[in-house]
Structure 1
Amino acid sequence: MASMTSDMNASQQAAELAIEIRNLSHSYGEKKVLDNINLQVKKGSSFALLGPNGAGKTTLLNILCTLMKFDQGSALMDGADVVRQSVKARRSIGVVFQTSSLDDRLSADENLEFHGLVYGMSKKERREAMDAVLELVELSEFREKIVREFSGGMRRRLEIARALMHKPAILLLDEPTVGLDAQTRQRIWRYLQDMQINEGLTVLTTTHYIEEVESADQICIIDHGRILAEGTPESLKNQYGKSWLHVTPLNSDVVAEIKSRFTNVQALTHNRYAIEIPDTAELNTFLEECSDQIEEARLDAPSLESVFLSLTGRELRDKASGVRISEQQAGRRAGRR
């Protein structure tokens, strides 16, 4: 009886999952790019996969898209095995790749029409779906326009529309907003949130813009093919978040001073360093003594950025610009923490 109850609970849990990955590993020659990955993504949730270049994110997405086989383990998409039931799995997913895969010689309508034909949609289904997705991404008035005349933001919105044409249960997004302006990025996330709420769509995304996944239901941080941490944004901040001071020294002497005074110092790009803040008094003393040798200083309170830095020793992406503050401002802010 206990065994039967356990089996029923396991079956019920599996039915609630959009994505289930078990003990998945893959290597390119002698280089292991995925190392015993285990993930579960609930239906209707938003799941963010964060990791630096080379972490294994794109390889994992290619596996989930059925584009790549793997060495060991299993992966189910909406209950379908990506190897043994690849056709069924493909029908459950929509994909937006990092690099555009639209045919820019065709119109928006023609790109969508071809996608519908590939998925075996009837003429009536295609027409209704095309009208719906173009309206969703605000491209209805441009449906007959050739794609090569579209802006980058319009192309990305059309790719999302195409991925939603066949009403997938799961949407996979690989860096969907890279290179787009802030307004277009916000618009794209608004579309996806509406689809989650209204259609129960499950969204798995990789991104370099951590602020875009602050509202995700679940976040997984991966590096060197291994999962380092997984949880809600708040749980990750509470467990791994630290306060860091990001500084840009003007000379090698202050770099040596930083390394001698602080235990945890991470070398970043562009001659910048991140100092874990164990003691605000010590930090204030350092800033007072070395203020004339520091070009820039910025405080990073416990955040997803600081979680990523704490776990990987790296930033997820380079900052476009930093906020310059005086040592007095930095000291006052540090004192309030």
Structure 2
Amino acid sequence: MQTIIEVENVSKSFGQVNAVDDMSFYVTKGSLFSFLGTNGAGKSTVISIILTALQPDSGSVTVNGFTVGKEDEVIRKEIGVVFQESVLDPLLSVQENLEIRAQLYGMAKQDRLAAIQRCADIVDIHSILKRRYGKLSGGQKRRVDIARALLHQPKILLLDEPTTGLDPQSRQQIWKMIGHLQKEHGMTVFLTTHYIEEAANSDFVIVIKEGRIIAKGTPVDLKQQYSADRLFMTTTDHIALRTHFQHDHVQYQEETGGYTIDLPTTIAAIPILTKYQSFISSFEVRKSSLDDVFIRIHDRKGV
């Protein structure tokens, strides 16, 4: 598949702080790519370099064949960005905000109106074009923010934690729209987040920590590699069950109403249940969520 973003051996420091440490990855055209890390992991620095706002200390970045540091003006036209914090004027209407943004791209009046109508169709904001931006709900504002990012028909849409602070229904609507942009319009979507569940539908995921890549793959790959099933059991004789666990050196965690044991495989629950069945009143094998996977990746020793 064709590569649209390439990051090769990029490093960036701020004084004694190594924000990005020899990082390399690529994004394929038309994919949904997720870039995960906790606050301070280096996500913002990498994004700033891709957006040409920062220059790397070493390494190279290309965006749709154009090189950061050499063809920055062209690169900026290739990317539409939705920031965590809105850059639109709360006192102006949605239409006025979008017209001003379109003017910044040098569009003639007729082209501006056509671009606004096209983006309003994509994100379904025709009914709120005349409303003041500051009076919109969080989900409506985010849809307008995405429309603003699409005005100049970029090849890449970069979303910086796009659903932070939104209610579940608004998050669902935003993700439905993002999926539509990727699948129906062939848009390359670059997502940054610290919620791995938001990356569940991604084509590829990279997890970073302290400026380095610590895991990468499809969501299925990561779940298979790093997930761990858990056996949850309840008992009517807590003292006896704990005594047997301790005697047999079984590693367990106490939870409200029961006990949890990490399993290497689902089948590994069978001998445990067989051995302690006289003490067990109920049990359940719980599958790891993607959030569990992220925690396991992030907390691994040696990374």
TM class by smaller structure: 0.7 to 0.9
Structure with bigger strand share is 2
Letter in 2 for 1:66: T
Number of the residue aligned with 1:205 = 191
RMSD (Å) for aligned C-alpha atoms: 3.0
Number of the residue aligned with 2:108 = 122
Residue pairs, 1:127-142, within 5 angstroms: 127-142=113-128
Relative distance call for 1:224 and 1:284 in structure 2 (3 A) is farther
Relative distance call for 1:191 and 1:313 in structure 2 (3 A) is same
Select which of 70, 73, 77 maps to 1:87. Answer: 73
Alpha-carbon distance, 1:109 to partner: 1.0
Rounded to whole Å, the distance in 2 between the matches of 1:307 and 1:114 is 43
Number of the residue aligned with 2:22 = 36
Provide, for residues 130-151 of structure 1, a one-character-per-residue CA deviation record: whole Å limited to 9, x for no partner: 0121222222122122111111
1:166 aligns with 2:165: no
Letter in 1 for 2:92: L
Relative distance call for 1:189 and 1:264 in structure 2 (3 A) is same
Relative distance call for 1:88 and 1:304 in structure 2 (3 A) is same
Select which of 291, 294, 300 maps to 1:308. Answer: 294
Relative distance call for 1:232 and 1:288 in structure 2 (3 A) is farther
Rounded to whole Å, the distance in 1 between the matches of 2:104 and 2:273 is 61
Number of the residue aligned with 2:53 = 67
1:113 aligns with 2:99: yes
1:76 aligns with 2:62: yes
Rounded to whole Å, the distance in 2 between the matches of 1:181 and 1:285 is 45
SS in 2 for 1:148: helix
Rounded to whole Å, the distance in 1 between the matches of 2:277 and 2:43 is 38
Rounded to whole Å, the distance in 2 between the matches of 1:284 and 1:67 is 60
**Which structure carries more relative contact order (alpha carbon 8 Å, separation 6+)?**
2
Residue pairs, 1:261-272, within 5 angstroms: 261=249
Do the aligned residues in 2 keep the contact of 1:277 with 1:283 (CA within 8 Å)?
no
Q: Give the structure-2-normalised TM-score.
A: 0.81
Residue pairs, 1:51-66, within 5 angstroms: 51-66=37-52
Number of the residue aligned with 2:236 = none
Relative distance call for 1:194 and 1:290 in structure 2 (3 A) is same
Rounded to whole Å, the distance in 2 between the matches of 1:203 and 1:54 is 22
SS in 2 for 1:176: coil
- Size of the aligned set, in residue pairs, is 279
Do the aligned residues in 2 keep the contact of 1:241 with 1:307 (CA within 8 Å)?
yes
Do the aligned residues in 1 keep the contact of 2:23 with 2:212 (CA within 8 Å)?
yes
Alpha-carbon distance, 1:75 to partner: 1.0
Rounded to whole Å, the distance in 2 between the matches of 1:286 and 1:163 is 58
Rounded to whole Å, the distance in 2 between the matches of 1:52 and 1:202 is 23
> 5+ unaligned residues in a row in structure 2: which ranges?
234-241, 254-258
1:233 aligns with 2:193: no
SS in 1 for 2:220: helix
Letter in 2 for 1:207: T
Alpha-carbon distance, 1:310 to partner: 2.1
Q: Give the structure-1-normalised TM-score.
A: 0.74
Rounded to whole Å, the distance in 1 between the matches of 2:216 and 2:288 is 16
Q: Percent same amino acid at aligned positions?
A: 41
Letter in 1 for 2:217: G
